[in-house]
Amino acid sequence: MSCFVGYLVALAFLNRASASSFTLINSCEYTVWPGIQAGAGTEELSSTGFELRPGQSMTLEAPTGWSGRLWGRTLCTFDGEGEGKCATGDCGGSLQCNGKNAEPPATLVEFTLGQGVGVALAQDFYDVSLVDGFNLPLIVATKGGTGSCSTTGCVTDLNQSCPKELQVDNDGSDSVACKKRLRGIRQPRLLLRRGLRES
């Protein structure tokens, strides 16, 4: 399972007195189910999970000062009630994440939107994070607003080069996600390469 650009998140900065909008675009050749979790003290967006088929997009409004995470879930099956499971990025077995975070490993996009007018209050911050591992390529591009906001993301399918011990397989198929390497855990293979012995 791979795609070059992956899942594009375009952020349109509007007048700071109103909301900003997130346009989520699935550039993959397979269906992705975005998940969204609001940060502490901010309200959930109008949808916290939905299906995006290849080439589809969806725009959501975010209020001034909103913070939260967005991610893509893959290989999902949901029943008519919106209950089910995703092989990667699952958020409690529901289509709507409703405040639940992505189950690692999942590539995350994190946003903190400005809270008002003025240089300090109007700044928006965003990043693409692999802190919880990797499941699919994500990119963030901005539209509108002021300043020099750069496109950022991870457009390489890291599942293809994930070390065997960190791979997440789906029913014995190719790697569908890559776990993060935990610090402080001794991994015999790495110790042997360095000429060390486990005690």
- Evaluate whether residue 88 is within a structural domain: yes
Helices (H) and strands (E) in the chain — how many of each? Answer: 2, 12
Pick 70 or 8 by higher pLDDT. 70
- Specify which residues 71 forms β-bridges with: 35, 108
Which pair of structure tokens corresponds to residue 38?
């609001």
Residue 173: other Cβ atoms inside 10 A:
10
Q: Average the pLDDT over 49-78 and give the result.
A: 93
pLDDT on residue 42: 92
When pLDDT is averaged across residues 170-183 and rounded to a whole number, the result is 82
Q: Residue 83: give its domain's CATH number.
A: 2.60.110.10
Residue 2 in domain: no
In a domain, 132, yes or no: yes
Residue 80: domain span: 7-178
Dist CA 99 CA 103 (whole Å): 12
3-class secondary-structure state, position 134: strand
Contact 74, 29 (CB under 8 A): no
Q: Is residue 173 part of a domain?
A: yes
Q: What is the DSSP string of 20-63?
A: EEEEEEE-SSS-BEEEEEEPTTSPPPS-SB--B-TT-EEEEEE-
Residue 189 lies inside a defined structural domain of this protein: no
pLDDT digits (tens, 9 = 90+) for 142-164: 777 666 778 888 888 899 899 99
Quick check: pTM over 0.85? no
Q: Is residue 61 part of a domain?
A: yes
Count of domains in the chain? 1
Decide if pLDDT at 196 tops 60: no
pLDDT for residue 9 is more than 70: no
